[in-house]
Amino acid sequence: MAVPTLPKETQAAPAGLFSLPVIVAALGYFVDIYDLLLFGIVRVPSLKDLGLTPDEISTVGASILNWQMGGLLLGGILWGVLGDKRGRLSVLFGSIITYSIANVACGFVDNVTFMEPTLYYALMRFIAGIGLAGELGAGITLVSEVLPKEKRAIGTSLVAGIGLFGAVVAYFTVKLFDWQTAFFVGGGLGFGLLLLRVGVVESGMFTTVTEQTHVNRGDFLSFFTNANRLSRYLKCIGIGLPTWFVIGILATFSNEFGKAFGIAEEIQPGLAIMWCYVGLAAGDLASGFISQALASRKKGVALLMGIALLFSLVYLYTGITSATALYGLCLAMGFGIGYWAMFVTIGAEQFGTNLRATAATTVPNMVRGLVIPMTLTYQALKPSLETINAGAVVGLISFVIGFYSILTIPETHGKDLDYLEE
């Protein structure tokens, strides 16, 4: 049951598109994406420097990625609950300190002697994952609550579109320097961002809810105690599955797909990820305007998801023969999955103020956490189906769930967010 939280005449004036909360959220997501994607970019060179064979780089690299994604899954719940109990800003500060320290620690992995370096690497990526889990959900929640409903889609698209270029900066940082320095830069950017956050104020909607002592805030288990709420929550997660299929399978393991396609030139996963995120940033910037033009979150996401499906099929089954074509398709698939900000916004809009941060923070990290079964399924199917078909099976499952979820979830375009979940 939805109940209002604050009389309209007492609410603070909404912020503008280029207000401090929007700018800081965008820069925060920029650093978040830099650090989140950095392991995918340095996976091969860093593990080579640790003396691993090509086969070990594939299996150990997938394992470390799964540790990071497991951290995201756990951190999503932790920061989501804290965001509704202690405030959106507490998450923005706490999460960035956590992942900044962990990323600096990753820069020392090749100097570790007190334990197995790959185990140390996995543990640091796990801690980084916990920290990284809080950034996007808290930022999108804050921006959604301070912007007027007419500008929410564009505002959250700006946050993600600007933020996603962090992957491009991460790639060129590695190219210009080395993978160790790239980790140190990521940590430094995080600590620098803390200074910008000093002037950001808390969401008025959240502040008002804290004054209502009878309201139960940040109850993660409440998603599972009501059938309608559970359905909305699971569908929010389902919408995001195709995004991380493209990133976590097709781009991250693009070197393996390149070999399967018979491409002579060695494919660089870091470059594939970078081009994927260039497309993703462009798609995210466009998604807000598409949503506004169609007056529908659902139609906008379904359109972009269809583009992602089309280019995923082209990637897998048209027999591409050059590295340039592969990177170009990563760009095109990235544009298709550029509904990431809209997907997180839908998660925020589906639930009341007392559960909004919990939903918006846990939903994208549940999707990221599901990369674990995706990679495990992909690795398990490769021996029998070979690389291309193994990837296609994972993709089929992801897109079927994705389309079902977006077509059946309630529409939230223009929805007033000043209400509670009872």
Which pLDDT tens digit goes with each residue over 391-416?
A: 999 999 999 999 999 999 998 877 77
Pick among 1.20.120.160, 3.40.50.150, 1.10.1060.10, 1.20.1250.20: CATH of 16-198+224-413: 1.20.1250.20
Collapsing DSSP to helix, strand or coil, 202 comes out as coil
What digits encode the pLDDT tens for the residues 166-197?
878 888 888 888 889 999 998 888 888 777 76
Mean pLDDT estimate for the chain: 83
What's the token pair of residue 199? 């002037």
State the pLDDT at residue 88. 64
- Residue 405 CA, chain-centre distance (Å), reads 18
What's the token pair of residue 422? 């009872």
Question: What average pLDDT does this structure show over 216-243?
Answer: 87
Domain ranges, ordered by start, for the chain: 16-198+224-413
What's the token pair of residue 317? 């089954």
What digits encode the pLDDT tens for the residues 298-335?
999 999 999 999 999 999 999 898 999 999 999 999 99
- 80 pLDDT band (50/70/90 cuts)? confident
- 203 pLDDT band (50/70/90 cuts)? very low
- Residue 9 burial by Cβ neighbours in a 10 Å radius (0-12, 13-18, 19+): exposed
Q: How far is the C-alpha of 321 from the C-alpha of 295, rounded, in Å?
A: 41
Q: How far is the C-alpha of 261 from the C-alpha of 17, rounded, in Å?
A: 45
Q: How far is the C-alpha of 373 from the C-alpha of 394, rounded, in Å?
A: 9
State the pLDDT at residue 418. 66
State the pLDDT at residue 152. 75
* Residue given tokens 């409903």 in the structure block: 149
Instruction: Give every CB contact of residue 337 below 8 A, 6+ residues apart in sequence.
Output: 242, 243, 246, 247, 279, 280, 283, 304, 305, 308
Which run of H or E residues covers position 279? helix 269-294
Question: What average pLDDT does this structure show over 239-263?
Answer: 93
What's the token pair of residue 72? 């995201």
* Residue 202 identity: E
Written in H, E and C, the secondary structure of 99-135 is HHHHHHHHCCHHHCCCCCHHHHHHHHHHHHHHHHCCH
